[in-house]
Amino acid sequence: GENVEQHPSTLSVQEGDSAVIKCTYSDSASNYFPWYKQELGKRPQLIIDIRSNVGEKKDQRIAVTLNKTAKHFSLHITETQPEDSAVYFCAASQWSNQFYFGTGTSLTVIP
Amino acid sequence: SQTIHQWPATLVQPVGSPLSLECTVEGTSNPNLYWYRQAAGRGLQLLFYSVGIGQISSEVPQNLSASRPQDRQFILSSKKLLLSDSGFYLCAWSPRDSLYTFGSGTRLTVV
């Protein structure tokens, strides 16, 4: 099956700086890559996703890049704010079924 | 609109007792349904997924089982809980070719 690795496991940045979280996947057939944000004690919620026919996608301060050849994808958060503090999960799937998640990155934005 | 309900929100159970967590989806038909477990400080582990009534696939061998008695109902069960079963359990659903939506989760503590 698919194996998704995520780095770093923890990340601290100063407010206003950028944060980058990276994931790699093993199954070249994976074609859908969502990112989820999970605040403490709450459910994960989708923040952005990208499909394999696209190299980059941006939504305001959040962007995701995908390198299919290298089988890695990254989440970029610019101008970080304290409310961005949360655990972020990447995932990979084929045809949006049976997601395989990374182990999560705990992001702390220091005011 | 579609909604997903998961209950109970929290549960404290003694070792050796049975478990039943329920998840239901409204506003859709024939969804894919999933159970995930999130141990403290760790990622999301896929436990079971179902593509239809009575169709259950298990990702990892464990002390748990799942059933789908109705199209929009997914139940996670155990006959005898272990301490290691403690964690945050998340139900999720997806349409056939689209993204996940998670339930609000059940925090299970086995004592």
Give the Cα separation of B35 and B58 in Å (integer): 10
* Chain B: closest CA distance from residue A99 (Å): 8
| A-B contacts at Cβ under 8 angstroms | 53
Q: What is the pLDDT of residue A93?
A: 86
Q: Is A25 on the interface with B (CB under 8 A)?
A: no
Q: What is the pLDDT of residue A95?
A: 67
pLDDT digits (tens, 9 = 90+) for A98-107: 788 898 999 9
Number of residues assigned to chain A: 111
Q: What is the 8-class DSSP label of residue A79?
A: S
Contact A101 B42 (CB under 8 A): no
pLDDT digits (tens, 9 = 90+) for B3-43: 899 999 999 999 999 999 999 999 888 898 999 998 766 67
Q: CB-hemisphere CA count at 13 Å for A110?
A: 4
Give the Cα separation of A85 and A108 in Å (integer): 5
Say if CB A73 and CB A23 are below 8 A apart.
Answer: yes
Residues from chain A that touch B32, judged by Cβ atoms under 8 A, are 97
Give the Cα separation of B53 and B40 in Å (integer): 31
Give the Cα separation of A31 and A44 in Å (integer): 21
Q: Is B79 left (phi over 0), alpha (psi -120 to 50) or beta?
A: alpha
The low-confidence residues of chain A, meaning pLDDT below 70, are: 95-97
Three-state DSSP at A83 gives: helix
Q: Is A42 on the interface with B (CB under 8 A)?
A: yes
Residue A65, token pair as written in the block: 């890049």
Give the Cα separation of B92 and B37 in Å (integer): 11
Contact A46 B98 (CB under 8 A): no
Q: What is the pLDDT of residue B39?
A: 75
Q: What is the pLDDT of residue B97?
A: 56
Contact B104 A42 (CB under 8 A): yes
pLDDT digits (tens, 9 = 90+) for B70-109: 999 999 999 999 999 999 999 998 876 566 788 999 999 9
Q: Is A95 on the interface with B (CB under 8 A)?
A: yes
Q: Is B56 on the interface with A (CB under 8 A)?
A: no
Q: What is the pLDDT of residue A47?
A: 94
Residue B17, token pair as written in the block: 């007792």
Q: Burial-class residue B80 by CB neighbours within 10 Å (0-12, 13-18, 19+).
A: exposed
3-state helix, strand, coil split of chain A in percent (to 5) is 5, 60, 40
The 10 Å Cβ neighbour count of residue A53 is 8
The 10 Å Cβ neighbour count of residue B40 is 7
Q: What is the pLDDT of residue B101?
A: 85
Residues from chain B that touch A44, judged by Cβ atoms under 8 A, are 44, 90, 102
Pairing type for strands B32-38 and B44-52 reads: antiparallel
Residues from chain B that touch A92, judged by Cβ atoms under 8 A, are none
